[in-house]
């Protein structure tokens, strides 16, 4: 690896905002050179290696580089499409509970990876792959409701309405994906929430 290639790779990493996951496949440059450069940056403390080919750029302090949360790291490992928090992790992320789970839980519509410290739940509904983090979190909360939640359906609907207004939840997409779910409770709870929302939000 030439000095100019190494400098270019380092410049690419430096341009990435703090708090970002970096995949070696996304860094421009020869693969071998990229892998070597990222490995060196991890050894020097500029990056944190999450697993092979995946790194985290955290804020560096006198205590060393910051590390990503386990839930965020797990989502990065499996990919953002069709993956999101489940169980207590979903309820906490959505603000439905103050309970912070000791072991993060992730629902995934696809192969379950090996990643220590996280509990994965495989879902067979491939329609989930068109959904994002917050949409999966809401589906999972509705799937288990009232378990894990410390609020009623009215408050749950209020939170869901806020997520929709922020562009994080698309109710037509949720409704479409719910048709392929095996859980009658999920569809029942989703219908109950949608009844509490403005009509233009669920069209």
The structural domain count of the chain equals: 2
In a shared domain, residues 112 and 164: yes
Tokens 């603000």 locate to 95
Over residues 154-198, the pLDDT tens digits come to 999 999 999 999 999 999 999 999 999 999 999 999 999 999 988
Question: How far is CA 162 from each of CA 94, 167, 198, rounded to the nearest angstrom?
Answer: 10, 9, 12
Model confidence, pTM? 0.88
Q: Tokens in use for 143?
A: 């799937």
The residue from 20, 39, 65 where one domain ends is 65
Taking the C-alpha atoms of residue 61 and residue 22, their distance in angstroms, rounded to an integer, is: 20
Find the domain containing 81 and state its range. Answer: 70-202
Q: Ramachandran region of residue 60, left (φ > 0), alpha (ψ -120 to 50) or beta?
A: beta
Q: How big is the chain by its Cα radius of gyration, in Å?
A: 20
Over residues 14-61, the pLDDT tens digits come to 999 999 999 999 999 889 999 999 999 999 888 999 999 999 998 877
CATH number reported for the structural domain that contains residue 54 in this entry: 1.10.10
Backbone angles phi, psi at 24, to 5 degrees: -60, -35
In a shared domain, residues 165 and 119: yes
Of residues 55, 138, 69, 139, the one with CA closest to residue 100: 69
The residue from 65, 84, 112 where one domain ends is 65
């Amino acid at each position: 690896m030439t000095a100019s290639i190494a400098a270019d790779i380092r410049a690419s990493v430096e341009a990435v905002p703090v708090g970002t996951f970096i995949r070696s496949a996304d860094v421009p440059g020869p693969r071998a050179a990229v892998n070597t450069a990222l490995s060196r940056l991890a050894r020097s403390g500029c990056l944190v290696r999450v697993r092979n080919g995946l790194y985290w750029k955290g804020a560096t302090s006198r205590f060393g580089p910051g590390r990503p949360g386990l839930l965020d790291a797990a989502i990065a490992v499996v990919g953002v499409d069709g993956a999101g928090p489940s169980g207590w992790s979903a309820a906490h992320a959505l603000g439905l509970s103050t309970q912070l789970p000791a072991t993060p839980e992730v629902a995934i519509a696809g192969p379950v990876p090996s990643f220590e410290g996280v509990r994965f739940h495989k879902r067979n509904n491939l329609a989930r792959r068109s959904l994002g983090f917050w949409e999966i979190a809401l589906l999972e909360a509705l799937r288990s409701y009232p378990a894990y939640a410390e609020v009623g359906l009215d408050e749950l609907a209020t939170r869901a309405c806020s997520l929709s207004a922020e562009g994080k939840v698309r109710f037509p997409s949720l409704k479409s994906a719910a048709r392929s779910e095996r859980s009658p409770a999920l569809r029942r709870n989703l219908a109950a929430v949608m009844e509490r929302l403005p009509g233009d939000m669920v069209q």
